[in-house]
A and B are shown apart, each in its own frame.
Chain A
Amino acid sequence: MKLISTSELLSLQVRVIVSLILRETRATFGTSTFGYVWAVITPTVSVALLVFLFSMVGRHPPFGSSLALFFATGILVLQLFNELSNKLMTVFDANRALLTYPIIKDVDTLLARAILISTTYVMIMVTFFGGLWLLGLAAPPARPDQVVIAFLAASLLGIGFGTLNAVVASMWETWTQVEKVLTRPLFFISGIFYVPSQLPPQAREFLQWNPVLHLIEWFRWAYYPNYGTTLLNVWYPVGLGAGMLCIGLLGERVFRSARF
């Protein structure tokens, strides 16, 4: 019996993922390359606008000398997580038509979307932090390697939660609404506009269960040369992300036939 070899399978996998990413790019951002530029510019501008509003009401940065930098290190990490969690949740339904082609599996569409979103956020962050640096509003990151690792950890948590969401939503549609309600408070409890270590102990006791807070602390600790954090536990978001990803993928496998 002639069986397909591992290298053939691997190249097939790469081919499918790359084609899906190109298709997804085209479907999300439109025909022109400008569509993609737009996708990078929109969040960049919206963060810039928020920063502008905060500085208008006379807020001082809770840490460092740049309000824009402090705010961006928080909100961009949260947005990356939110985007992954939201967009992956609907991935099975959005790509139903693609399953006409048996060569494409649900997990491929999930992976392709996750890669596209993460890559877009790399662009957004490079644009934003690069822009701040060029404008003289911020220095480059103090520990670039840790910035990258923190970014990857945030992607992992987003992908893990997103995968789990996708599986739950495929069986219980209302979950898409529930998830929105559950993740809405993250904007307030993730330390976007304050330094969590400076909060009273009771608040810290409560907030430390929020994995996104750890990611933002991590990102800031990596970006600023002297950002002190008493809360950060890097293994918490990483472990939770990996765990949710495993459970999500397992759930996808177990409930696969129920989705048809």
Chain B
Amino acid sequence: MLLFDRVSKSYRLKGVRKAILSDFSFRFPEGRNVGIMGRNGAGKSTMMRLMAGIEPPDQGRVLRTSRVSWPLGFSGGFNGSMTGIENIRFVSRIYGQDSNRVIESVVEFAELGASLRLPIKTYSSGMKARLAFGLSMAIDFDMYLIDEVTAVGDEDFKKKSKAVFKSKLERSQIVMISHSASTIRQYCDCGLLLEGHRIRFFDDIDDLLAAYKEINTAGTD
């Protein structure tokens, strides 16, 4: 279960207060995949950070009883001077997973070969993304939070990611941020639309995409 209970969150940037959420209550529907859409700066990533528990809300509570992943998509959590293997071992350890099993599965999935024994700072951004994605897929979560990224690397790797992803979806649910209508349609069956001053829930994915299109065209006029 993941529940927002009267959550308020705002930022103060250069003296300007910007409200992201105000008195927002929402229970994420069980067993469904939720797409989060909205224009840049509407607070999608902040909402995800609140869901993950990275940031505390200003007011209200975020309650979770399921194992929620960290927001996947950026590889900020790696230590550059540590090797790939060491980073994997660290993350498996904090999540209480068998590190050998996780390493095995990342080795097989990420196809980084001997590079896994080199420090992360020698990696290209593509390699880092593959490692990050492989690592998160190797750890069992009830809910995966995905920020913008679904596939990295070449065609082969993309196909492989998609397959792993699909198998994950059988047992876990996802919450996904994306600007891409096709990605949202592919993975999600309901969604939230963040408009800055209000947040709407759509039970039907087509309604979400239509409404998203509407605010986008309204904005460009």
Binding site for B on A (CB under 8 A): 1-4, 11-12, 15-16, 18-20, 22-23, 26-27, 97-104, 256-257, 260
How many Å lie between the Cα of A8 and that of B86 in the bound state? 25
Residue of B nearest to A104 (CB): B94
- Are A23 and B65 within 8 A (Cβ)? no
- Are A27 and B82 within 8 A (Cβ)? yes
Residue of A nearest to B78 (CB): A97
Chain B residues positioned under 8 Å from A4 (CB to CB): 65
Chain A residues positioned under 8 Å from B82 (CB to CB): 23, 26-27
Q: Is B15 an interface residue (CB 8 A)?
A: no
Our pick among B53, B90, B91 for the contact of A102 (Cβ within 8 Å) is B53
How many Å lie between the Cα of A148 and that of B77 in the bound state? 37
Query: What class of interface size applies to chain B in its complex with A?
Result: 20 to 34
Chain B residues positioned under 8 Å from A102 (CB to CB): 52-54, 68, 70
How many Å lie between the Cα of A100 and that of B91 in the bound state? 11
Q: Is B98 an interface residue (CB 8 A)?
A: no
Contact with A along B77-116 (1 / 0, CB 8 A): 1110110001000110111100000000000000000000
Binding site for A on B (CB under 8 A): 1, 52-56, 58, 65, 68, 70-71, 74, 76-79, 81-82, 86, 90-91, 93-96
- Are B79 and A12 within 8 A (Cβ)? no
- Are A97 and B93 within 8 A (Cβ)? no
Chain B residues positioned under 8 Å from A20 (CB to CB): 94
Interface of A is mostly: helix
Residue among B71, B78, B95 with max Cβ neighbours from chain A (10 Å): B95
Our pick among A2, A12, A99, A256 for the contact of B65 (Cβ within 8 Å) is A2
Interface of B is mostly: loop
A-B contact pairs, 15 of them (CB 8 A): A1-B65, A2-B65, A15-B94, A16-B94, A19-B90, A19-B93, A27-B82, A100-B54, A101-B94, A102-B53, A103-B95, A256-B56, A257-B55, A257-B56, A257-B58
How many Å lie between the Cα of A127 and that of B94 in the bound state? 32
Chain B residues positioned under 8 Å from A99 (CB to CB): 54
Q: Chain B's nearest CB lies how many Å from the CB of A224?
A: 43
Residue of A nearest to B74 (CB): A100
- Are B96 and A27 within 8 A (Cβ)? no
Our pick among A2, A97, A103 for the contact of B94 (Cβ within 8 Å) is A103
Chain B residues positioned under 8 Å from A26 (CB to CB): 82, 86
Lowest 9 CB-CB distances: which A-B pairs, in order? A100-B77, A102-B53, A19-B93, A102-B52, A100-B76, A102-B54, A19-B94, A97-B76, A2-B65
Chain A residues positioned under 8 Å from B76 (CB to CB): 97, 100
- Are A101 and B91 within 8 A (Cβ)? yes
How many Å lie between the Cα of A16 and that of B91 in the bound state? 10
Our pick among A11, A97, A103 for the contact of B79 (Cβ within 8 Å) is A97
Residue of B nearest to A258 (CB): B12
How many Å lie between the Cα of A101 and that of B78 in the bound state? 10
How many Å lie between the Cα of A180 and that of B170 in the bound state? 56
Q: Chain B's nearest CB lies how many Å from the CB of A39?
A: 15
Residue of A nearest to B46 (CB): A260
How many Å lie between the Cα of A3 and that of B64 in the bound state? 9
Residue of B nearest to A18 (CB): B93
